[in-house]
Amino acid sequence: GILQHPDGTVLKQLQPPPRGPREQEFYNKVYDSDCCDSILLELREYLPKYFGVWSPPTAPNDTYLKLEDVTRKFNKPCIMDVKIGQKSYDPYASAEKIQQQVSKYPLMEEIGFLVLGMRVYHVSSDSYETQNQHYGRSLTKETVKDGISKFFHNGYCLRKDAIAASIQKIEKILEWFEGQKQLNFYASSLLFVYEGSCQATTVRLSDVTLAEKRGVPKGLLSGGDILEYNNNIHVINSTENGKIEASVGKGLSKFYAFHKKAYSKRHHSQLSLKVENLEKDNVWKSSTCITQEHLNGNVIPQLEKVFCHMPAEIKESANVEVRMIDFAHVFPSNTKDEGYIYGLKNLITVLQNILDN
């Protein structure tokens, strides 16, 4: 599981040798302060930032990689972990290991990727739907498109803005792979994160009916009481004796844990809106956003307009992150990583088909 340090970074426990030391060596190489290799310097753009290693005071022999929390900036992060490549085993794997990996998902070589898990925020219920690795391994060539589209569906409609932005980011990673011949990646993943709540406005749907009954005057927003949500990771608290209390994720196979609902009782029966500087953006002035007038009618059609019919300019700049993670099987090479490239191209094709259809 992934833990969270009090400073907001995440902690990934070092795996047993040789995997753990290999991953640490990879991060050390890419983030070496003396690094002048343009290929590695560009690669940093597609990884979580690396802050070295860390050990808890009470267990100095336990080593953790200290990494950027990619979800930290999101209000309602939707997260998907996709293993990339035609082979999920490295060149030094034993025959037994190869057979074990191939049997887990025989289609890996043909499809080039495997969904390891996802966590999707549904606006209507203000809750998350979680799928684990068994869901991904159940997908076939015929169902993989629908299986991945599930990640981009918020309960009302397909988030085409997030799909388009994801494709653009994968294409940048593909460009990097097409231009390098020094590293090959096996059993490595892409971590997808996008904002599940409306980018313009955060609305507690459960409060809309209450607000209507109260007859909130038009144009009146609930003054300083802004509804704030915590993100998807339980924070580790440093206790006085230096022990670390950690919440370990159960739903997603490798990355990131429980969603924590964090709002105080005083917000429970209030309509709370968070409007973020929309007036500065002329595009948004002409688009359909939720206003107080809309709330006195049916809020769901308005949410659909915000999510599904955003202008192209907004779709292109959707709040999305796509980062490479899991580097326990990265090896030096003198050829292109054709297996990873194949997986990226296939994933782009599937996402493009979801977008087009």
Nearest to 189 by CA among 319, 38, 328, 7: 328
What is the pLDDT, as a whole number, of residue 194?
A: 98
What is the pLDDT, as a whole number, of residue 307?
A: 52
What is the pLDDT, as a whole number, of residue 98?
A: 96
CATH, residue 189:
3.30.470.160
On whether both 56 and 176 belong to a single domain, the answer is: no
Domain boundary among 69, 85, 102: 69
On whether both 117 and 86 belong to a single domain, the answer is: yes
Give the C-alpha separation, 207 to 223, whole Å.
15
On whether both 8 and 29 belong to a single domain, the answer is: yes
Upper half-sphere CA count for residue 274 (Cβ side, 13 Å): 13
Identify any residues that bridge with 83 across adjacent strands, giving them in sequence order. 114, 189
On whether both 80 and 189 belong to a single domain, the answer is: yes
Q: What is the pTM of this model?
A: 0.72
On whether both 75 and 112 belong to a single domain, the answer is: yes
Residue tagged 């904002």 (tokens): 195
For residue 7, give its domain range.
1-69
CA 169, 178, 92, 113: dihedral to nearest 10 degrees? 40
Asked whether residue 14 is domain-assigned, the answer is: yes
Give the C-alpha separation, 280 to 93, whole Å.
55
Identify any residues that bridge with 307 across adjacent strands, giving them in sequence order. none
CB 83 within 8 A of CB 114: yes
Asked whether residue 297 is domain-assigned, the answer is: no
What is the pLDDT, as a whole number, of residue 103?
A: 96
For CA atoms 256, 352, 157, 74, the dihedral sign is positive
Asked whether residue 46 is domain-assigned, the answer is: yes
On whether both 126 and 171 belong to a single domain, the answer is: yes
On whether both 32 and 161 belong to a single domain, the answer is: no
Asked whether residue 151 is domain-assigned, the answer is: yes
On whether both 32 and 95 belong to a single domain, the answer is: no
On whether both 80 and 63 belong to a single domain, the answer is: no
Give the C-alpha separation, 344 to 171, whole Å.
8
Asked whether residue 224 is domain-assigned, the answer is: no
Task: Determine the 3-state secondary structure of 120 from DSSP.
Answer: strand
Helices 160-178 and 338-356: angle between axes, nearest 10 degrees: 160
Asked whether residue 101 is domain-assigned, the answer is: yes
What is the pLDDT, as a whole number, of residue 109?
A: 97
Nearest to 126 by CA among 315, 263, 291, 276: 263
Task: Determine the 3-state secondary structure of 190 from DSSP.
Answer: strand
Task: Determine the 3-state secondary structure of 138 from DSSP.
Answer: coil
Domain boundary among 20, 47, 69: 69
Asked whether residue 255 is domain-assigned, the answer is: no
On whether both 11 and 43 belong to a single domain, the answer is: yes
Cα 238 versus chain centre, distance: 26
- Tell me, letter by letter, the H, E, C secondary structure of 59-73: CCCCCEEEECCCCCC
**Reduced to 3 DSSP states, what percent helix, strand and coil does the chain have, rounded to the nearest 5?**
35, 20, 45
What is the pLDDT, as a whole number, of residue 309?
A: 52
Number of H helices and E strands in the chain, helices first, is 13, 15
Amino acid at 133: Q
pLDDT per residue, tens digit, the chain (357 aa), is 799 999 999 999 999 999 999 999 999 999 999 999 999 999 999 999 999 999 999 999 999 999 999 999 999 999 999 999 999 999 999 999 999 999 999 999 999 999 999 999 999 899 999 999 999 999 999 999 999 999 999 999 999 999 999 999 999 999 999 999 999 999 999 999 999 997 543 343 444 443 343 343 333 333 333 333 333 333 444 443 344 333 333 333 333 333 333 333 333 333 333 333 333 343 333 333 333 334 344 555 555 555 555 544 444 457 999 999 999 999 999 999 999 999 999 999 999 999 998
Domain boundary among 20, 40, 69: 69
Q: Which residues are CB-contacts of 298 (< 8 A; sequence separation ≥ 6)?
A: none
Asked whether residue 325 is domain-assigned, the answer is: yes
Number of folded domains that form the chain: 2
What is the pLDDT, as a whole number, of residue 268?
A: 37
On whether both 56 and 172 belong to a single domain, the answer is: no
On whether both 331 and 183 belong to a single domain, the answer is: yes
